[in-house]
Amino acid sequence: MVVEDPALSQEDVAALMERFHAFLLKKQLKSTRQRDFIALSLFRSPGHLSIDDLLRVVRGDAPRVGYATVYRTLKLLTECGLASERRFGPGQSVFETAGSVEHHDHLICVECGHVLEFQNEDIEREQESVAAQLGFSLVRHKLELYGRCPRAQGVVTGACPGADAGNDRAPALPSSKAAAKGDDPRRPRAPVRNIPAP
């Protein structure tokens, strides 16, 4: 299932801003208008934003904000746990509000760089099972799948999910029963370490 990134409520944004201000106070840093614009812009934006994306959004309200200020503020937001930084390839860092949606994984097109969020309970259960079989108790994890979107594959009628800002739909993932047949091209290749079923 593709994850829709719902907009945070005004109450949620206000609570995040309170946490950010408390963090700045604890670190003995100033709470500035520019930092507030940057934090608010991130919290109100769905999905992933690069520093350049966020800078464009912020400059709509505060034209004098510079790249370095956005960068430093994002580092502060990440340090205090209000933002998550993701690196989906060389030079491709993006940020999202931490905890704004349930856990999700990512599909990344290696051609156009589009990032698509998805959830799949079969994958989540399998990761838990593998960890348990190896004696691990999972604390956290992230799954990033790299591939080519339909357009990058040369599919005649294929579209790139990143080409149209309103189109963040991925093809439905096959159920575990369909994938078990072995005829689905999206089925993952054999794992590096084969773990026998209990």
Question: Can you give the residue ranges of every domain in the chain?
Answer: 10-97, 105-172
- 127 in Cβ contact with 142 (< 8 Å): no
CATH architecture for the domain at 10-97: Orthogonal Bundle (1.10)
21-47 residue pLDDT tens: 999 999 999 999 999 999 999 998 877
57-92 residue pLDDT tens: 999 888 999 999 999 999 999 999 898 888 776 667
Exposure b/e, 160-190, CB count within 10 A at least 16 = b: bbbeeeeebebeebbeeeeeeeeeeeeeeee
120-139 residue pLDDT tens: 889 889 999 999 999 998 88
Fold of 105-172: Dna Ligase; domain 1 (3.30.1490)
